[in-house]
Amino acid sequence: MNATEIDHAKLLIPDDGIETACAFYRDALGFGIEGMERYESGEKPFFSVRLAPGAVLHLEPDESFEEAGGGYDHIAVRVDDTIDGIEATLEDAGVEIERHLTSPVGATGVAPAVYVVDPFGYRIELKAERE
């Protein structure tokens, strides 16, 4: 088997968390929201956050949601920006940086990254792709 990349991850959110999710992922982080019409019509149980051309997060509202935990630690997202640019975007949006790493190792090598926590307790690593 030859995997080429991660296609998507599916995360549960609270039933009443849709506006909060859009405010964080779309408004603060700048990612696109897709599939809301199909979700609202009941055609599918989730909507999506477009992270990159070939990668999405599916967010599914769930009445039995409990804050993220268990075996989950984080999802890493490569961002086409410098670490300074990423940090400036987060500061402008009022998003708190949980921690900074100067040389975490990932699928594409070593690059600086910051970690943020979404409103539902999911940790997101934002990894710079440019110097």
- Maximum separation of any 2 CA atoms in the chain, in Å: 44
Token pair recorded at residue 125: 């690593």
Which residue ranges make up each domain of the chain? 8-128
Token pair recorded at residue 5: 């990349």
Q: What is the pLDDT of residues 83-130, one digit of tens each?
A: 999 999 999 999 999 999 888 777 777 889 999 999 999 999 998 887
Q: Which fold has domain 8-128?
A: 2,3-Dihydroxybiphenyl 1,2-Dioxygenase; domain 1 (3.10.180)
Residue 4 has pLDDT above 70, yes or no: no
Token pair recorded at residue 101: 């790493």
Angle at 62 between CA 75 and CA 71, to 5 degrees: 35
Q: What is the pLDDT of residues 54-64, one digit of tens each?
A: 899 999 999 98
